[in-house]
A and B are shown apart, each in its own frame.
Chain A
Amino acid sequence: MGEKPNQANSVSPSATSAAPAGSKSSDLLSRHFSIRSLKLKTKEQELLLRVTVLCLVYVLAFITRLFSVLRYESMIHEFDPYFNYRTTLFLTEKGFYEFWNWFDSESWYPLGRIIGGTLYPGLMVTAALIYWTLKVLRFAVHIREVCVLTAPFFASNTTLVAYFFGKEIWDSGAGLVAAALIAICPGYISRSVAGSYDNEGVAIFALIFTFYLFVKAVNTGSLAWSLASAFGYFYMVSAWGGYVFIINLIPLYVLVLLITGRYSMRLYVAYNSMYILGMLLAMQIRFVGFQHVQSGEHMAAMGVFFLLQVFYFLDWVKHQLNDTKLFQAFLRITVTSAVVVGALALGVGTASGYISPWTGRFYSLLDPTYAKDHIPIIASVSEHQPTAWSSFMFDFQILLFLFPAGLYFCFKRLSDATIFIVMYGLTSMYFAGVMVRLILVATPAVCLISAIAVSATIKNLTQVLRAKPKIVHSCSSKGGSSAKTSSKGLLDQSQPIGKNGAIALLFGAFYLLSKYATHCTWVTSEAYSSPSIVLAARGAHGNRVIFDDYREAYFWLRQNTPPDAKVMSWWDYGYQITAMGNRTVIVDNNTWNNTHIATVGRAMSSYEDEAYEIMRSLDVSYVLVVFGGVTGYSSDDINKFLWMVRIGGGVFPVIKEPDYLVNGNYRVDKGAAPKMLNCLMYKLSYYRFGELTTEYGKPPGYDRARGVEIGNKDIKLEFLEEAFTTSNWIVRIYKVKPPKNRW
């Protein structure tokens, strides 16, 4: 600053030659000038602000997902991510071709699993690419860190896409709000915290990216954008089975546009190129294969494709004919024959088995009660349950109220883009109601629509605030009663509330939004940042107690059992045992063979000698059970046991659920059913538990997870022996004894 006056002096010698007062005024002038030159135009200011806000949102989306790393450590969470981690490790070590042709003999013993052909490789390839890029740049990171941070990284990218999407369907303000909302929305965070290395983390990005590109393509009619959306779709197909949602929603959207008379050349170009290219690209994924032309779930897209051709053809004929009557007749014939041909093709395809019928999962989406009656293995998963209202509230909070408001705004300004977001919002909301985990799919739509509501409301309110001085100004300049009445009319027309009301409403909106922010942070830190491998509890003195029993057991398996040992456990722990324990499992979380799982369920619910026969036939060397009776950990195998019985009984009718119940009640205490007290699962869980006092003032053998004293304290094992029990008894491993000598 000190330099400046001198500079000014040297530049304007004429001023310095004058009196000292004159020089002062000149340097004041120059200072004024320099600040002026720094000042940005309003548009540039707006751009700068927008970029800054976007950058902040980008960073925020990343760091809000790091709670779990700070609380625990940089580790992979839950069940499925362990499989993804294991396959990524394999991919980075052995290369892509080995990965693509990988037959895994470590799971589903003795069947094995063709990993390369039964998984969506998008996530693993993405992580491996990031890892390889970092390696080329000489960043010595471990692949685990890459996997842990993949989901937050893609969540950050999702915010950018949300911004552009919002900009496309409404305006840049709505885009910014959408980016901010989606950055911290618990519904999305639940699947994308650091360590939650699952397909969804990448797939939500791919999903909304594809949608954005498609909407852009429809809006512009440009081949480039539709091509881009086809590639987006390809990425989505490679990443997650939820791509079926895209391939059904987009045709539905096109159909709605056709019905509402919004057919255009833009739509024709966008849909055709996206569908054909996307389909061809998707066929390159081995797990998807020819489903696009063979499976019932993909037929809607094909039908709409042909319908569009018919539309185009009719358009062309109409253009050529110029005779309305003739055209009407032609139209009738064409439409009828097209429908008949389509229905015939579908009928023949289905009847001949060329087109496969809908899968159970798809059915259970359309009919929430279907899984409960027909597929217990789908119904047994907690994330497949119908959604409770509380979890909607938990995951969306104020968005739940802003959603209808946003829909209102969308309907008010109907365009191709808003129709899309409305359809996306409504369908995904329905699916979110059917299955808890599909809240995830609804989240971007809810955020976008709510963002429209917030942005439009705030914009209107600020317009009210800013409009008033203008009116006053115009009044003073013009004067006269006519101007006054006109301004009053203007006020009445567009501003039903006054300035104070607007301020109050603005404050209300900010209060609600800040409430949303605090709620999201709280939910993220409390509910969604636990790795569920390591359990944390509050000790008696308020200190943090860590139960690391899972890893203790898996590491024990890894180090102290023969490398070819086969471990039998309930399927929940399969992925973890193969990834952390490095041992062969009988069943795992890829529940592709119901009979195999039912066999394990049957073994667990049989008497020990019967179970021994089953285990011998499966070549089992160790049995692993999870038991929460000492620590009060409630999601253990005893609480999951009825599902084992049900799934086992679904295939082997010898297992009957009522045998394990007493008057319809599930009990483990003295009043439990005799079969329950002597089945393998009960014995393995409670073996020698009767000698242990778990809680002061309670009898020995008091089960803290279920709050009862167990019914069978004198458990003798004949065919198995205890091999290892973790320090808090959460995981118990038994060794299957070799058969006895007969003489």
Chain B
Amino acid sequence: MKLIRLALPIWSLVLLCVLHASSSQEIQIVNAERRIDLSSHIVKVFLTLKIENTGTSPVSDVLLAFPPTQANHLALLKAQAATGKRKKKTFTFLDVYPAELPEGPNGTKYFSISLHSKLGAGEVVTLEVLYMLTHSLDPFPEEISQSESQLVYYRDSAILLSPYQVKQQITFIKTPSSKIESFSMVEPTNRAGAELKYGPYENRSPHSYSPVIIHFENNNPFAVVEELVREIEISHWGSIQITEQYKLAHAGARHKGVFSRVEYQSRPGHSGISSFRHLLARLPPRVHSVYYRDEIGNISSSHLRLDSKKSELEFEPRYPLFGGWKATFVIGYGLPLEDFLFELPDGKRYLNFSFGCPLVETVVNKLTVKVVLPEGSLDPSVDVPFPVEQYLEKKYSYLDVVGRTVVVLEKNNVVPEHNSPFQVYYHFNPIFMLAEPIMLTTTFFLLFITCVAYLHIDLSISK
């Protein structure tokens, strides 16, 4: 512990020396306030930056810097500009895209926020940035027994990593409970209950970095879906069928040694405190024919609550999940077509559906959304509010001849905030709806015809 404390400031000093000269200093951050929320296993950071253009020419982009460890775990990054005074604040969302800075130190990743209007010399703008980090709480000890609670490390910098000069900054870190084992001190540092305060620090040069480690208790369910495949099948006969295949894991401290059912049953509050057994999925309203099963059959422990606004499916895996334990299961449900499928004036149809995982407070490492369009639909196109990988597939389902076009969307590192709607546009001629019924009736008709023919034809040779 001490070694780290000593070593990291040295490293940051080196960084400082290297970078000080090179970075362009047209922008400076007047005031930075960071609020880091560590209460679940998804780290949420709210960053408020007050930026001033100190240069001479107008600036259109503001850079955000992330150390490589955080950049790899960055799930979501949103920025908005605040205009107006305190109560009449209005926010406008800004575009964020990855950027490269050649002089950036040690693999620092940059994201560029493009402002709506150029920031003239001497002007000030307030930016609010929200970003989420997944897999950033490392359990220590890595293995715990049933009766122990789970302790985790969070690593960050007390000083905001930024390519700009920061005049004043402060960081608040909120932990789920007041049980904090240890935390790095970077004076001034204060602790009040479940909140740590780093700062205020004044006048830090660009790319300053001061690593801190916080070791605290976090018994929230570390529910991670390692892989989720959502298949959305559209039937123009009036229904959308959704099948979701989950590979769920408890990503917290691994369970060690004995699992005792006696203790788990008799002391529910004390034993297996970091384990979880209840999961909640928020499904769209008017959901019907819900099922919950796995490879070996139906799982009977689930409840569905329906109301007009939303449906909630509360379910349990077959066994409580302790650290490192896994469970795979499938959830399927049907939805009325008219709630999600719409027609454009030019005859194009589009599906409007939410992208992410319906489970509450879970991270999805790899999400694959497959939209199965009805047989005979043409030129599909997709509109997703964030970058995803996409390609087309073919699928054969009941009585298909030419196969259905499947639009496949893939995204890694998905958090609940990705639950925003996306659209799939396609052309579809309703005559194709009749293809299958006509096929069936023809088959039966031919069958009966052959029967009649057979009964009326005498095939015997000898007579």
Contact = CB atoms under 8 A, between A and B. Distances in A.
B296 to A, nearest CB: 5
A110 to B, nearest CB: 26
Interface in A711-743: 721-727, 729
A688 B262 CA distance: 7
B154 interface: no
Interface in B324-346: 324-328
B257 interface: yes
B94 interface: no
Contact of B298 (A75, A139, A580, A691): A75
Contacts of A93: none
Contacts of A551: 296-297, 318
A690 to B, nearest CB: 10
A723 B397 contact: no
Nearest to A579: B296
Contacts of B324: 560
Given A73-B298, A559-B325, A559-B327, A138 B260 contact: no
Interface in A553-591: 554-556, 558-560, 580
Contacts of A73: 297-298
Contacts of A729: 261
Nearest to B257: A721
Given A75-B298, A139-B399, A555-B318, A724 B259 contact: yes
Interface string B42-75: 0000000000000000000000000000000000
Contacts of B261: 722, 725-727, 729
B326 A560 contact: yes
B296 A555 contact: yes
Interface in B371-427: 396-401
Contacts of B398: 138-140
A555 B262 contact: no
B258 A692 contact: no
Given A138-B398, A140-B397, A559 B260 contact: no
Residue of B298, B325, B326, B398 with highest tally of chain A CB at under 10 A:
B298
Interface in A73-124: 73, 75
A338 interface: no
Contacts of A619: none
A40 to B, nearest CB: 15
B397 A138 contact: yes
A721 B262 CA distance: 14
B400 A138 contact: yes
B318 A580 contact: no
A638 B405 CA distance: 56
B229 to A, nearest CB: 16
Interface string B140-165: 00000000000000000000000000
Interface in A605-626: none
Given A138-B396, A140-B396, A688-B262, A724 B319 contact: yes
Interface string A526-569: 00000001100000000000101001101110111000000000
Contacts of A725: 259-261
B294 interface: yes
A691 B262 contact: yes
B213 interface: no
Nearest to B317: A555
Which 6 residue pairs are nearest across A and B when measured between Cβ atoms?
A: A725-B261, A73-B298, A559-B326, A552-B318, A580-B296, A75-B297
Given A534-B297, A560-B324, A723-B258, 13 more contacts: A546-B300, A551-B297, A554-B296, A555-B296, A559-B327, A560-B325, A580-B296, A691-B266, A721-B258, A722-B258, A722-B259, A726-B319, A729-B261
Interface of B: 257-262, 265-266, 294-300, 318-319, 324-328, 396-401
